[in-house]
């Protein structure tokens, strides 16, 4: 497959770490929330293997925050998500589908409760800030909404725990999954969450003090040799194998949370009020007629730029492939597809046409691993 | 400058024309409204020169539409823009800054009035759809908001008029600037506007019938030889020389329309109601303390991934450079910068530090040509 360059500009702006990762060998970028997000440091197969065994530092500054504060902030945040946040606690992260009036997805951020009247929405790739601003204006909410200068670095992989203990002390190992707290690095306080875009374990440092973040980045690489630390980035193979869904890839504003397997984050039976609640009740009642599933594809490489139809042997559409990559673990291509009823079951068979070739497709449950 | 690959995925999806432009020699992409937008076919200098003398066909499907229809659609569209649309006419395009409650810019689309109760907002690179959905929900407006399947191809350059006349007949040459009408191509109706992302003249075909659009694309290249037609894309050099501003590059949600020279689209003295009106009145009264200006930079190449500070010889910040390119016309780098008072005047001097080198900067008025 031919490579195309990315044309850089302020509109796809770099991060405080861009010059560092370019020295460290980044080879490909994607664009996420109008920023450069590294997508490869050479082979993503090798990087996936390294991530599963060691530890990586990732420039994920493109994971932007929407800060919502003020007396009506809790009301606005709840209005945007179908997850019940009435019992949410300060110091915790919550994975929250953001839903529009039609019951469709706008984003699937992690929401951090910083105070009763201060929240960070750590967004996937869509402009939640304008959704929040529109809702606040229309509802005449007393809130302040802006994008703070927060540039996240992630430390991911099984050795992240011992690496981070060496930097921040024993206390950081006591952080529970999706908990966050403040930790000191050479006099600067950093919000650190036990979270990240991999299933290999790790942390995300929400850097507000840019210079201290850069110092921390450099320090991690200084002491990282003992842990076989490498620079990395969210890994396509690892995320598909783990069934970590991606807004814009696997689902978008044309899909509802039930189709995406988000049932446990859809709280329709409490008294809380949020957009699309009645629509979602109707969908739950009727049931969905399609669902995100895994697929195995009999080939050894693939590159998607849009969804591809999957048909059965009678030529009927059974679904569409939305993400895919070669998995060295399975020795074939795996993918995530929106599969229509009655084909939403493991081992349903289909066919995909790519460049005039017919490839066999087999549906399976998510996650793969 | 090193090139980096773009990692393709559905999240940065291709357009119906992507496979064609890849055969035609596209070399670089940018990402715009979550889609691939071609950024170069080899040398942008040569392409700029060709565009100024001939005609090009551009895949600008990334210029997405937000369709707003229904009884409250006019009210919602007006609420979002500071330009008075009360006398707007069906069949016309309107360049309209979209403004938030703070009086800051959200986008700078062209708005097409399709009917009294049906509008297309042809957006720059931000998710205006979610701003509209939030406002509609909060204000309980009766509207339908969605992104229709419209994939624009642009025909730009001085020879576009004779080329388009050959395809669509004399009638298309009578279209006024920013007017649109419907034209037939082999039995399919296409909305065509006299508009585009260059100052070289031309048209945009708002393709709803994808197959007919592809046929038209191929037909233009078939008959285009006589016009020295080439594939192209919005050209960085041409747009900076012409002073065509770009949301995300030259301005963003931290800037107001007065700072960007949009005064003539800010209608504060009529009875219409829109977001940020009171804020904008205050800004007009006080005056702005910075402004988008042109700059000449004494060097022969540049690549920006974020804004760069411009200082004067005393080391004081006088502004920030936001877009820049080498202009063969001026034989030096030209750029667009947000310049602070009291330096907002042609021939103010400054210095830019890039890679340890100090470059002289001279402020000038926009446009350059």
Could you report the per-residue pLDDT of A164-178, keeping only the tens digit for each? 999 999 999 999 999
Phi/psi at B193 (5° precision)? -110, 150
A136: pLDDT strictly greater than 90: yes
CA distances from B235 to B28, B152, B200, B206 (A): 12, 16, 11, 20
Of the candidates A12, A132, A322, the beta carbon closest to that of B31 is on: A12
CB B83 within 8 A of CB B97: yes
- Of all residues in chain A, the percent with pLDDT exceeding 70 is 100
Of the candidates B29, B127, B249, the beta carbon closest to that of A4 is on: B29
**Do B248 and A10 make contact, defined as CB atoms within 8 angstroms?**
yes
Based on its alpha-carbon atoms, the radius of gyration of chain B, rounded to whole angstroms, reads: 21
Taking CB atoms within 8 Å and a gap of at least 24, the contacts of A262-269 are A262/A97, A262/A108, A265/A81, A265/A82, A265/A83, A265/A95, A265/A96, A265/A97, A266/A82, A266/A83, A266/A97, A267/A82, A267/A83, A267/A84, A268/A82
**What is the DSSP secondary-structure string of A302-316?**
---SS-EEEE-TTS-
Mean pLDDT of B170-186: 97
A193: pLDDT strictly greater than 80: yes
Mean pLDDT of B168-176: 97
A355: pLDDT strictly greater than 90: no
Supply the mean pLDDT for chain B: 97
Distance of residue B191 Cα from the nearest chain A Cα, in angstroms = 25
Q: Work out the pLDDT band at B66, boundaries 50, 70, 90.
A: very high
Q: Work out the pLDDT band at A298, boundaries 50, 70, 90.
A: very high
CB A310 within 8 A of CB A321: yes
Mark A49-68 as b/e (b = at least 16 C-beta within 10 Å).
bbbbebbbbbbbbbbbbbbb
CB A138 within 8 A of CB A126: no
Candidates A25, A305, A309, A322, partner chain B, best to mutate (most B CBs within 10 A): A305
Distance of residue B196 Cα from the nearest chain A Cα, in angstroms = 19
Confidence at residue B41, expressed as pLDDT on a 0 to 100 scale: 98
Candidates A4, A124, A323, partner chain B, best to mutate (most B CBs within 10 A): A4
Q: Work out the pLDDT band at A24, boundaries 50, 70, 90.
A: very high
Q: pLDDT tens, A98-107? A: 999 999 999 9
Confidence at residue B91, expressed as pLDDT on a 0 to 100 scale: 98
**Do A4 and B5 make contact, defined as CB atoms within 8 angstroms?**
yes
Q: Which chain B residues contact residue A25 at CB under 8 A?
A: none
CA distance B159 to B157: 6
Q: pLDDT tens, A52-92? A: 999 999 999 999 999 999 999 999 999 999 999 999 999 99
Q: pLDDT tens, B203-242? A: 999 999 999 999 999 999 999 999 999 999 999 999 999 9
Confidence at residue A90, expressed as pLDDT on a 0 to 100 scale: 98
Mark B334-369 as b/e (b = at least 16 C-beta within 10 Å).
bbbbbbbeebbeeebebbbeeeeeebebebeebebe
Q: Which chain A residues contact residue B136 at CB under 8 A?
A: 101, 134, 138
B1: pLDDT strictly greater than 90: no
Chain A within 8 Å of B308 (Cβ-Cβ)? no
**What is the DSSP secondary-structure string of A157-216?**
STTHHHHHHHHH-GGGGGPPTTBEEEEEETTEEEEEES--SSSS-EEEEEE-SHHHHHHH
Of the candidates A28, A31, A323, the beta carbon closest to that of B5 is on: A28
Across the beta sheet with B118-122, the strand order is B93-95, B110-115, B118-122, B65-69, B144-146
**Do B134 and A129 make contact, defined as CB atoms within 8 angstroms?**
no
CA angle centred on B362, ends B358 and B368, rounded to 5°: 130
Helix A73-80 with A128-139: angle, nearest 10 deg: 120
CA distance B150 to B319: 39
Mean pLDDT of A181-190: 98
A283: pLDDT strictly greater than 90: yes
Confidence at residue A103, expressed as pLDDT on a 0 to 100 scale: 98
**Do A29 and B10 make contact, defined as CB atoms within 8 angstroms?**
no
CB B151 within 8 A of CB B213: yes
Q: Which chain A residues contact residue B292 at CB under 8 A?
A: none
* A194, burial (CB in 10 Å: exposed 0-12, middle 13-18, buried 19+): buried
CA distances from B348 to A29, A259, B91, B250, B342 (A): 37, 58, 43, 19, 9
**Do B29 and A130 make contact, defined as CB atoms within 8 angstroms?**
no
Mean pLDDT of A25-43: 98
Q: Work out the pLDDT band at B355, boundaries 50, 70, 90.
A: confident
CA distance A4 to A7: 9
Confidence at residue A157, expressed as pLDDT on a 0 to 100 scale: 98
A259: pLDDT strictly greater than 90: yes
Start-to-end Cα distance in chain A:
28
B273: pLDDT strictly greater than 80: yes
CA angle centred on B210, ends B206 and B216, rounded to 5°: 75
CA angle centred on B38, ends B32 and B40, rounded to 5°: 130
Q: Work out the pLDDT band at A2, boundaries 50, 70, 90.
A: confident
Q: Which chain A residues contact residue B305 at CB under 8 A?
A: 8-10, 12-14, 18, 36
Q: Which chain B residues contact residue A36 at CB under 8 A?
A: 305
**Do B28 and A5 make contact, defined as CB atoms within 8 angstroms?**
yes
Mean pLDDT of A108-130: 98
CB A41 within 8 A of CB A230: yes
Tokens linked to A190: 């950093």
Mean pLDDT of A122-139: 98
Q: SS3 of A138, please?
A: helix
CB B329 within 8 A of CB B312: no
Characterise B32 by phi-psi region: left (phi > 0), alpha (psi -120 to 50), beta (else).
beta
Across the beta sheet with A65-69, the strand order is A93-95, A110-115, A118-122, A65-69, A144-146
Phi/psi at B215 (5° precision)? -60, -40
pTM over 0.95: yes
CB B27 within 8 A of CB A3: no
What lies within 8 Å, CB to CB, of B157 at 6+ separation is B50, B51, B52, B53, B54, B55, B56, B198, B200, B201, B202
Closest CA to A24 of A239, A236, A233, A210: A233
Distance of residue A316 Cα from the nearest chain B Cα, in angstroms = 21
Confidence at residue B270, expressed as pLDDT on a 0 to 100 scale: 92
CA distance A35 to A340: 34
Q: Work out the pLDDT band at A239, boundaries 50, 70, 90.
A: very high
Distance of residue B201 Cα from the nearest chain A Cα, in angstroms = 25
Q: Which chain B residues contact residue A39 at CB under 8 A?
A: 7
CB atoms within 10 A of CB A201: 17
How big is the A-B interface in CB pairs under 8 Å?
196
CA dihedral over B281, B284, B285, B287, signed as positive or negative: positive
CA distance A243 to A192: 24
Interstrand relation of A28-32 and B5-6 (parallel, antiparallel or unpaired)? parallel
**Helical (H) or strand (E) element with B364:** strand B357-364
Q: pLDDT tens, B89-98? A: 999 999 999 9
CA distance A298 to A81: 38
């Amino acid at each position: 497959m031919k490579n195309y360059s990315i044309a850089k500009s302020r509109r796809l702006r770099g991060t405080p770490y861009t010059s560092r990762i370019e020295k460290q060998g980044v080879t490909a970028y994607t664009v996420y929330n109008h920023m450069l997000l590294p997508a490869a440091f050479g082979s993503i197969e090798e990087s996936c293997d390294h991530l599963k065994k060691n530890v990586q530092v990732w420039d994920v500054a493109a994971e932007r925050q929407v800060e919502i504060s003020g007396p009506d902030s809790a009301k606005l945040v709840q209005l945007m998500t179908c997850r019940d946040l009435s019992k949410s606690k300060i110091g915790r992260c919550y994975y929250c589908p953001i839903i529009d009036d039609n019951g469709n997805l706008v984003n699937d951020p992690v929401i951090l409760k910083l105070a009763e009247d201060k929240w960070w929405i750590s967004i996937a790739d869509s402009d939640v800030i304008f959704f929040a601003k529109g809702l606040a204006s229309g509802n005449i909410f007393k809130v302040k909404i802006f994008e703070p200068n927060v540039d996240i670095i992630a430390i991911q992989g099984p050795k992240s725990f011992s690496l981070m203990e060496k930097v921040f002390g024993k206390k950081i190992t006591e952080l529970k999954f999706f908990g966050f707290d403040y930790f000191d690095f050479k006099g600067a306080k950093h919000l650190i969450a036990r979270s990240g875009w991999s299933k290999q374990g790790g942390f995300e440092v929400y850097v507000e003090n840019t210079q201290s973040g850069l110092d921390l980045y450099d320090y991690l690489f200084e002491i990282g040799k003992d842990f076989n630390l490498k620079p990395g980035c969210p890994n396509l193979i690892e995320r598909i194998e783990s069934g970590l869904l991606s807004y814009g890839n696997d689902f978008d504003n044309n899909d509802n949370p039930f189709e995406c397997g988000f049932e446990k984050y859809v709280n329709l039976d409490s008294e809380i009020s949020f957009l699309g609640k009645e629509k979602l009740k109707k969908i739950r009642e009727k049931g969905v007629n399609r669902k995100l599933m895994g697929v195995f594809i009999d080939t050894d490489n693939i590159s998607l730029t849009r969804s591809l139809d999957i048909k059965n042997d009678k030529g009927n559409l059974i679904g569409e492939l939305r993400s895919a990559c070669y998995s060295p673990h399975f020795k074939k291509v795996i993918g995530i597809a929106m599969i229509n009823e009655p084909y939403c079951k493991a081992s349903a068979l289909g066919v995909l046409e790519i460049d005039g070739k017919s490839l066999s497709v087999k549906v399976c449950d998510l996650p793969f691993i």
